[in-house]
Amino acid sequence: MATDYNFPDSAARAAAAAQEAPGEFQTEKMSLAMGPSHPSTHGVLRLQLELDGETVTRADPVLGYLHRGDEKIAENMTYNQFVPYTDRLDYLAPLANNMAYAIAVERLAKLEVPARCQAIRVLTAEMARISAHLMGLGAFGLDVGAWTVLLYSLEEREKLYKLFEELTGARFTTSYTRIGGVTRDVPEGWLGRVGAFCDQFLPILEEILKLLTRNKIFMDRTVGVGVISRADALSYGLTGPNLRGSGVGLDLRKDKPYSGYEQYEFDVPVGTTGDCYDRYLVRGEEMRQSVRIIRQVLARFPDGPWYAPDARRIFAPPKDKILTSMEELIQNFMIVTEGPQIPPGEVYFEAENPKGVLGFFIVSRGGGVPYRLKIRSPSFCNLSILPKACQGILISDVVALLGSMDFVMGECDR
């Protein structure tokens, strides 16, 4: 009755075939499109992978799925009209982008904004850094299988978004800066609420980081994985936590301070090996340092005007003056219709954003519209190392590597 079936499994069959005909055992490489809609490619990055088994032999990133032609658009509108487009670059930290863009144009106009405006910008940029890193860490945890981190970090980010909403009117696309100032002063009691957020945030941050830092699974997935050497990081133009994770202590807030960063004390964390774990540690520490900066800003928050009052051809006058005075009405009309009047020249300004160094190269021929505006996107430069960094690693480590790079395609594709 009983029949003896003998079906060796496929691995055993392959091994047997290799034994029988050595040298004729053929394997073929597999081509795999990872993305553009894949949970670990954070948006619309597509990696065209060539695989030998589970090992990546070649990776070709395919970009452009989110290309909107921001640089072309910028050449066709006034300086202030472009502010909302900067929100949509690194949409996880719009306040930091707003600030970088405004400072770039102000440098071109040789315009100094008052201390209060600088303090507001530093404050919002650091809050944006915390919110971006929270998302970055949460998504990184998610990519390597740690669900809980995201739940905690999103809750904290939500608290920040509530504060952003109160300040700017929008949770996400804030468009908070104008050339020569910001859209409005901080609301009554808002600074106190930011301080209260910091007080309750630090213990929760420690709790979030505790979920990962000594987590065996997380360490197995990240320690020694996706190593980017110091020389490679410099050669590929990496910036931000990715460069610092590889041991280069470049932080423009320290090295080329802008917006009054020189007044604040903070440390620049630097990694040693340049693996995924180092990049994670750097981001975690940067959040602590951001809280430190925020507390210093709050402790000596300057009084005085929150926009450049003497920039009459650049920053629109207050609304009550527009409605009551002819001079201000004309001034407002000119700024709205023709844009802030910026002198001719070339300027390149870079700010230390959460994802890396965001740069604006602006060529002006005078008037209210830039002649050429180039956006130096940190995510674009950071991703350019992928063909090299993915070479020879396992496909599951590609996921960890991408998570640790913390990129945003809105900024990469522009």
Partner 1 sequence: MSADLVSTLQARFPRLAPRPSADHPAVNVPLEDVVPLLRCLRDEHGFDLLTDLTAIDWSPGATPRFTVVYHLLSTTRAGAYLRVAAPCAGTEEAPVAPSVTGLWAGADWHERECYDLMGVRFEGHPDLRRILMWDGYPYHPLRKDFPLAGIETELPAEDVAAETGTRVVAAPMAGGPFVASAGEINLTEAEPRAKDESWSDRAPQPGHTPLRQVKE
Residues that bind partner 1 (CB under 8 A): 63-64, 67, 69, 71-73, 76, 107-108, 110, 232, 234-239, 248-250, 252, 254-256, 345-350, 357, 359, 361, 363, 371-372, 374, 376, 380-381, 383-385, 388, 413-414
Q: Which is nearer to partner 1, 81 or 396 (CB)?
A: 81
What's the closest the beta carbon of residue 183 comes to partner 1, in angstroms? Answer: 24
d(CA 109, CA 181): 13
Q: Which is nearer to partner 1, 110 or 300 (CB)?
A: 110
**Between β-strands 30-34 and 46-52, what pairing exists: parallel, antiparallel or unpaired?**
antiparallel
Q: Which is nearer to partner 1, 106 or 285 (CB)?
A: 106
Residues 6+ apart with CB under 8 A from 1: none
Whether residue 276 contacts residue 226, with contact meaning beta carbons closer than 8 Å, is answered with yes
Whether residue 406 contacts residue 140, with contact meaning beta carbons closer than 8 Å, is answered with yes
What's the closest the beta carbon of residue 10 comes to partner 1, in angstroms? Answer: 31
Q: How far apart are the first and last CA of the chain?
A: 71
d(CA 354, CA 132): 6
What's the closest the beta carbon of residue 381 comes to partner 1, in angstroms? Answer: 6
Q: How many angstroms from the chain centroid is the CA of residue 391?
A: 25
What's the closest the beta carbon of residue 292 comes to partner 1, in angstroms? Answer: 21
**Between β-strands 46-52 and 55-62, what pairing exists: parallel, antiparallel or unpaired?**
antiparallel
Strand-pair partners of 31: 50
What's the closest the beta carbon of residue 212 comes to partner 1, in angstroms? Answer: 29
d(CA 341, CA 99): 19
230 residue type, one letter: R
Residues 6+ apart with CB under 8 A from 343: 108, 109, 110, 364, 366
Q: Which is nearer to partner 1, 73 or 322 (CB)?
A: 73
What's the closest the beta carbon of residue 156 comes to partner 1, in angstroms? Answer: 32
d(CA 312, CA 332): 9
What's the closest the beta carbon of residue 368 comes to partner 1, in angstroms? Answer: 16
d(CA 103, CA 177): 9
Q: Which is nearer to partner 1, 165 or 255 (CB)?
A: 255
d(CA 253, CA 379): 19
Q: Which is nearer to partner 1, 174 or 379 (CB)?
A: 379
Q: Which is nearer to partner 1, 167 or 409 (CB)?
A: 409
Residue labelled with tokens 């980081």 = 209
What's the closest the beta carbon of residue 361 comes to partner 1, in angstroms? Answer: 6
Q: Which is nearer to partner 1, 157 or 279 (CB)?
A: 279
Q: Which is nearer to partner 1, 256 or 292 (CB)?
A: 256
Of 217, 230, 238, 219, nearest in space to 273 by CA: 230
Whether residue 230 contacts residue 242, with contact meaning beta carbons closer than 8 Å, is answered with no
What's the closest the beta carbon of residue 414 comes to partner 1, in angstroms? Answer: 8
d(CA 366, CA 328): 22
